[in-house]
Structures are given as structure tokens and as C-alpha cells.
Structure 1
């Protein structure tokens, strides 16, 4: 097997496991071919199955281990869309498993990876959009970028562990639903974490690529909460902001945007003002941008915008708890359900919800345990 495999087209997951313990995953490309074939819970991108084949559609849970077990394949150059709930997507923890594609100009059609289903887990996957990294897409000064998401997350109760997201603009479209990111790396330069989800980023590396768009300035977040009644927003807990500057922590995509950085280390890449009201200057009192207990040279708040929200310790704890207590059943931790922040517990819930026992046991133990 080659160490990498280049394929093209669009991969759409629409089928899952059967009671025989195997599954086939339908993936349709522009030419009608299928880019994913699954046997024994090992997904091999670049397969030659045809879209007209008889696809399995039995029980509604499957663990897709890509780049492991039967194949030494690590780079998949195609678009992937998950449309079926109860999917666990796994890469190889010892070597990078990359899903990448180069497309830009449209936040709806350009993402390399789309999640349009609930109850999802990804581990050890690198999601890339290479569009803005192509020299032909840059002008003479090297600052011409456009929307080029590496991933667009629209499902509810989704979690990502030890994953990486890389592009320049709109890298991670954290669009809607409740999401948890643990030990992930998100790289970009302009609005590279944006959307209106209710999400917590814990122990993540936020990697600024602002030097690639110089002399322009970069923005980490562009949160899009539309009203004070919405419980959406982004919380960054114990993260590390690093890379190259200058960079704002965020700008308001809507006039009720909400972002909190708590216990985060910030390197010297953050502009002194910290935040930008963007097109909502004059109504910044509606925006909820906050920092609490952060450290590092970029966390100096002496010159921050005057309208940054100051939160008490109790308000910070309540905010972090509210965003952390997301579970696969929709209940919070206090109601006896495991939060998606618990990696194995949430995986167990997804597998059990489809009647398969727990992750790494029963139906999937031999192929994927």
C-alpha cells in the first residue's frame, strides 16, 4: 500500500453497520464513483465501488477507523460529508490521518468536511482546506484569501478529540449545535473559528497564521449569537493561543456575539485592544466578549477595549459549567448523563444508543476495539 492516496470527489456517508458486524459506506463523486468502502469497520478512501451498488443500511451506528488496521493510507484528498447519526470517525494516533481538499469562495459548498448529523465523535483526524495555501490563489502581496473552511459542524452533540483543523479563512465553521473540542489544534488567520454553536474548547491550541496575511490583521473568532435569549457562544478553557500576529481574539459577526477565554495562555500575538466590534460599533454593550484568569504577554488587559465584559469568578464558573455539561441525550451532567467532554463515556453512549453495548466491546470489539 502507498503511504498516501490521492482521490477526488465528494464522499457522503449515508449507510452504516449491519448485524453481521460489517458496514458499507456510500460515497458519491462527480463521476458517480464512491470514495469510501468499509469492511470490518475500516474505511478505505479511494475505493472503486459504484454508487449503484447494493448498500447496507441496517443498524444505525458504526465506527469508521480510517488510516489504520488494514491500510497504510494517511492522506485522503476529497470532500467528506457525514449525514447519518451515531458515527465515530477515528484516525491513527501514531501517524497523521489527513482529510484534505482545496476549495474556496463559499462557506456552504467549500468545506472539506461537513457534519450534518447528531451524535458524532472524531479522534486523531486532521481536517484541511488547502485552497488558500495554493500560490496561484494569492496576489503579489500574498494577502488575497477567501472563505475556505476545513470543517463545517452543523450536528448536535458532536465531540472532537486530538484533531486538527487547518486553513486561512473560516477554518472551523462551528455553525450550530452543542460541541466539545479537546486537545485540538485550530489554525488560521481570519475568523478561523466562527458560527453560532454552543461550544467549549478545552486544552486546545489556537494557532494564528496572521503572518501569512500581513499587513492585514487577523481574527480568531467571529461568533454569531443573534439574541440574548440564545444559549450559544464559544468558551476557550485552558487553551494556548500561539503562532504569529497581530491577531484579535475576536470580532462580532452579529450584535449579540459571545466569547469567553478562561485560564488561557496567550503568546505575544494578540493586539492590545483584544477585541473588535466590527460593524456593530456604537452598540458594543450588546456584545459579550470576556477574559478571565488568562496569562502570558498577550493576556495583558491594560489596553483592552473598554466595553469588554468583566465577569466575576462565579459567572466564569457558571459559564464554563453550562458549556461543559453537554451530553449525548440532551440532559446535563447533573441529570446523570455523561458529558461529551468524557471521551470514552460519550463514545459508549453513541454505541449503546444503537444497541451495540459499549465502545470497544460487542459488535465492534474485533474490528475496531
Structure 2
């Protein structure tokens, strides 16, 4: 074997080691040694000879050397993480473990045990507060659910490592970033559930989740560095691009835009009894609990007064309606009546690969009931086409993972598109409604908590418009494009029409100067009387002008890898910049 061939094999083994060690959680060896820019971008190279000849170490040879030192310096390993002390403590005593999968197992076990402790404590806390404060009881119920989902996300990472294939290494890295971001979002959702509750239960849960959150964050930081490395170190045979194809073999291109009558459903729901079921929940009870094939539920015209949950692991369910004003699902759970925001959703999507077409989702509680979610999406690779999502405050909860919305109309008042998913909206209408007296309106409130999380709200070729009742108000209500719900809030509005009712400053603070330096807001090539950026805010985190290359990164082909899972569905989709 020649030296070049040997070096290549050693380097490939090294990359495999790095992925296996870093792919799950808890600041394990490998990625942090690579270096790279502080913003998680591409890793720089110092120009070594990649051929392996001439006596100069190639980047691939360097990887092997870095791995050798990875078990020798916890400080170096943990250098790029935000929670260095927690990272270093987590590595204590593991230096004698040389099998990467055993290292992952140790890490995985540590974090999962920490979260399970929090789940157990939540049950004990609930016994203590039962009958005393319903809001705390509801928050603990939310914690029990979302913390289990956080464990599920960590388990996905572990399973991905167990099924490791070098040829799909970049595919793995992308998924791991999404799922680790999801794990962080679920932990944060538990903490958020205690807002405006009495007593110290919320602080106790926050303390219980501190280590798990920090270790998950450290793992995500390492994966982010690893992703940067992949774009710099080119190794023959690596697969670049995803291959999820959630609908492969089920829907030929174009079927989901055809006349619903031409699509043969698995189940028909009709209020008049002309289908197999009269309610959507009854129809869902007939779907296999761990479904993994495309399962079409045709919902005939009618108003369905029910709360619908498509549960975790019930994947690839499709809701087809007869039009968003004809087939509507409605409820009225709300914060004022004692229900936590997460639990107010009329429809909650938790099964991956969900698609909705020609459906209306509504929370009819009204502005006076404050937080009242019409649709919560907590599932990966979901698509919504020609849907209406209607409420007032907190209408659409883009909670986590990858989401795509096309030709939809979303109405609301305050923070009415919020959450921490990778969510792209194309050709959608955001219609601002009349709020309560003395309220301002915000279209978005993005909730990225950690710098390395993948989440962001992207509006591309959308229209931001006033409802007639809002437009008629005198004096006019202040309306903003968004405000930062979490410290690293990220929102991009590009190629969109912005009507003149938007305040000239464009964006609103959350409270004081919170997140103004760390958020990431950008506008690009927008049009309309409200699109001028001349008088926009001057926050450090706001980008008045971004390059075409940077804007391109937020198109669904690049940001969501949509060519691999959106395009095969046949739903209208533009991969890159749109012609407007």
C-alpha cells in the first residue's frame, strides 16, 4: 500500500472517529480540536499538501494527529464549547476508554439519566401541588412530555452513530444538528412552561435541567464545528447532500397538487357520515401507532370541533381537505382559562413527515384570551400547502425541526408566528388582525436559545398585510416585523411585499436591550411601501444589507435541504431565489 493510500485510510478512519465521538452529546473528544471560526462557519485550512507527499502534513493527516491528542487534554477538547467547566467534568475518567461507541454510550447515559431525573422529579412535584395551582400542574405535564421528546432526540443521535456509514457522513451531521437543536428546544419548552406560575417549582426544574442542557449544547457546538470541517476537508467517497426522500415510492411528483378526488385516500372523514369516520381523531386511531408509510386521510368539508394530536412516531400522515375555508379544525383553549401556551394548540403535529393540504386550522378564543395556538408543529420535515392558520396571539407555533409552508395564510396579532424550527414560508400571506386596546402587534417572535442551534424563521416572497379591521383603526396600531423571544433569535425576510402599515423602525425589542446584540435579523430585496430600511433599528444584531450569497443560504434548498424531501412531494417549491 502506498503512503498516499495509507494516509487516506487513516484520515477516513479519523473522520469516522470524530463523528462517532461527537455526534451525540456531552462534549466528547474530536471536533473541538479542529478549530475554525467562532461563528460556526467553514473551517479554515493552512494550505498543507493534501496529496500526502512531500513531507508536509495534509489536513487529513492532521485529523489523525488531533485524534491522538484528543484523550490527553480536556481543556483543549472543551475549548469551543459554551459550558467548558461542565464539559471538562463530563470527560473526567473516560480517558481509558478507547472505543468511540463506548464513549458515546457513557455520554448518552449521563445526559439521559439527568433528564430522566427531571421527569421523575416532575411527577413528585405534581403530587405536591395537586389541587393547589393548576398552572404548575399543567407545566409539569408539559415537562413530562417534552423531556421525553428530548430523550427521543438524543436516542436518534445514538442510533445514527450505531448505524454509522462513512459515505453518508454529511447527511448524518445535518440530522444531528437538527435533532440536538430539537433536544435543546424541548428542554427549554419545559422551563418556559413555568412562566407566570407561583412558587419555586419552575426554578427547581431549571436547576435539574442545567447539566443536561449544557452538555447537549456542548455536543451541538462540536457537531457545528464538524460540519464546517466537512466543507473544507474533501474526502473521496463522502456523500454531500441528504437522501431522506420521505415520500419516495408513495407519491409520484405532482400527485399532491392534483384534484383530491384523483388521490386514493386510506381513510375518509366526513361529518355527514359519508366516510369511514365522522371525526379526525377516530381516523387517527386507525393509523398504525408507529406508522412509517404515507397514510392519506381525506377530510371532507365541514367544521371539526376537536383537538387533534398526530403523535410522535406516527409518521408520514397526510391531511387532505376540500379547501381551507371549507375543511376547518377549530378549538378555543387559551392561556386566560388556565392552559399553558404549549397545550393550547387546536392541532399539534408531532409525527415526522406530516403533510397538510387545503385545511384550515383555527383557535377561536379571541384576542381577549391572549395566548391561544391554532397549530403547533413539533415534527421534522413537515409541509403545509394552501392552508389557513387563524388565531390572534401565538397563532402558529413553529416549535422545532424542519418545516415548509407554501401558499398559506396566517392571521394573528402578537408574536403570531413563533418558535425555534427551521421554518421557511414561500408565497404566504401574513395578515395582521386588530389587537386589544393598547396592544402593539408583532408578526414573528423567533426563539433560538443557543448560538449553534439551526432554527430560524424565513419569509420568502410573502406578503405582510393588514386586516381591514386593523387598517380602519385611528390612531393606527404599532405593527412590527418581529421581536426577539430568545437571545439568539433569527429571522430573515426576503423578496417579500411589506405594506405601509409596518412601523418604519421595523422591529421591536422584547424588553430593554435584551438580545439586541445577539439576535440575527435581516431584510433582503423586499418591496412595498413598508419595505424601506432607511429608518430601521440600529441594533448590532440587525443586518440592513446582506449579500446575495448570504441570502441564498436561507432559501429552502440550502437551508432545509428541500430538494431531497420537499420536491418529491410535488408541492409547489422553489429551491433558491424566486422570480418576483
Q: Is TM > 0.5 for Structure 1 vs Structure 2? A: yes
Q: Which residue of 2 aligns with 1:138?
A: none
CA–CA distance in structure 2, aligned partners of residues 199 and 273 of structure 1:
24
**1:32-84 CA deviation, whole Å, 9 max, x = no partner?**
xxxxxxx9521235738998xx95738743100101xxxxx411111111111
Assess if the C-alpha contact under 8 Å between 2:426 and 2:461 holds in 1.
Answer: yes
Task: Flag as ranges the 4+ runs of structure 1 deviating above 6 A.
Answer: 48-51
In the alignment, is residue 260 of structure 1 matched against residue 492 of structure 2? yes
**1:262-317 CA deviation, whole Å, 9 max, x = no partner?**
01001122111111231361641211111111111111211100122131121111
CA–CA distance in structure 1, aligned partners of residues 348 and 324 of structure 2:
25
Q: Which residue of 1 aligns with 2:523?
A: 291
> Residues 303 and 56 of structure 1: is their aligned pair in 2 closer, same or farther, counting only changes over 3 Å?
closer
Which of 338, 350, 353 lines up with 1:119 in the alignment? 353
What is the correspondence of 1:210-221 to structure 2 with a 5 Å cutoff? 211-221=434-444
Higher-strand-fraction structure: 1
Q: Which residue of 2 aligns with 1:44?
A: 270
CA–CA distance in structure 1, aligned partners of residues 292 and 553 of structure 2:
38
What is the correspondence of 1:186-225 to structure 2 with a 5 Å cutoff? 186-209=410-433, 211-225=434-448
Query: Secondary structure at 1:297's aligned position in 2?
Result: coil
- RMSD, aligned α-carbons: 2.8
Q: Which residue of 2 aligns with 1:340?
A: 566
* Deviation (angstroms), 1:98: 0.5
Assess if the C-alpha contact under 8 Å between 1:123 and 1:163 holds in 2.
Answer: yes
Query: Secondary structure at 1:278's aligned position in 2?
Result: coil
Q: Which residue of 1 aligns with 2:552?
A: 317
CA–CA distance in structure 2, aligned partners of residues 167 and 247 of structure 1:
17
What is the correspondence of 1:13-162 to structure 2 with a 5 Å cutoff? 41-44=267-270, 47=278, 57=288, 60-67=293-300, 73-83=301-311, 84-93=314-323, 96-105=326-335, 106-132=340-366, 144-162=368-386
Assess if the C-alpha contact under 8 Å between 2:487 and 2:514 holds in 1.
Answer: no
Which of 426, 451, 456 lines up with 1:228 in the alignment? 451
> Residues 242 and 95 of structure 1: is their aligned pair in 2 closer, same or farther, counting only changes over 3 Å?
closer
> Residues 181 and 55 of structure 1: is their aligned pair in 2 closer, same or farther, counting only changes over 3 Å?
closer
CA–CA distance in structure 2, aligned partners of residues 238 and 65 of structure 1:
29
Show structure 1 runs of 5+ residues with no match. 1-38, 68-72, 134-143, 328-332, 347-369
Show structure 2 runs of 5+ residues with no match. 1-264, 272-276, 471-476, 573-580
TM-score by length of 2: 0.46
* Deviation (angstroms), 1:173: 0.4
Assess if the C-alpha contact under 8 Å between 1:120 and 1:158 holds in 2.
Answer: yes
* Deviation (angstroms), 1:95: 5.7
* Deviation (angstroms), 1:325: 3.7
CA–CA distance in structure 1, aligned partners of residues 503 and 371 of structure 2:
23
CA–CA distance in structure 2, aligned partners of residues 185 and 112 of structure 1:
17
> Residues 323 and 56 of structure 1: is their aligned pair in 2 closer, same or farther, counting only changes over 3 Å?
closer
**1:246-271 CA deviation, whole Å, 9 max, x = no partner?**
31100000110000000100112211
Higher-helix-fraction structure: 2
Assess if the C-alpha contact under 8 Å between 2:270 and 2:279 holds in 1.
Answer: no
Worse-superposed segment, 304-313 or 121-130:
304-313
CA–CA distance in structure 1, aligned partners of residues 281 and 497 of structure 2:
49
Assess if the C-alpha contact under 8 Å between 2:266 and 2:295 holds in 1.
Answer: no
Worse-superposed segment, 308-317 or 276-285:
276-285
Q: Which residue of 1 aligns with 2:394?
A: 170
Assess if the C-alpha contact under 8 Å between 2:415 and 2:442 holds in 1.
Answer: yes
Query: Secondary structure at 2:517's aligned position in 1?
Result: helix
**1:116-136 CA deviation, whole Å, 9 max, x = no partner?**
110110000000000116xxx
CA–CA distance in structure 1, aligned partners of residues 536 and 329 of structure 2:
38
Q: Which residue of 1 aligns with 2:407?
A: 183
In the alignment, is residue 326 of structure 1 matched against residue 561 of structure 2? yes
> Residues 200 and 44 of structure 1: is their aligned pair in 2 closer, same or farther, counting only changes over 3 Å?
same
CA–CA distance in structure 1, aligned partners of residues 267 and 298 of structure 2:
6
Assess if the C-alpha contact under 8 Å between 1:180 and 1:341 holds in 2.
Answer: no
> Residues 232 and 283 of structure 1: is their aligned pair in 2 closer, same or farther, counting only changes over 3 Å?
closer
Assess if the C-alpha contact under 8 Å between 1:200 and 1:323 holds in 2.
Answer: no
In the alignment, is residue 242 of structure 1 matched against residue 465 of structure 2? yes
CA–CA distance in structure 2, aligned partners of residues 108 and 224 of structure 1:
14
TM-score by length of 1: 0.70
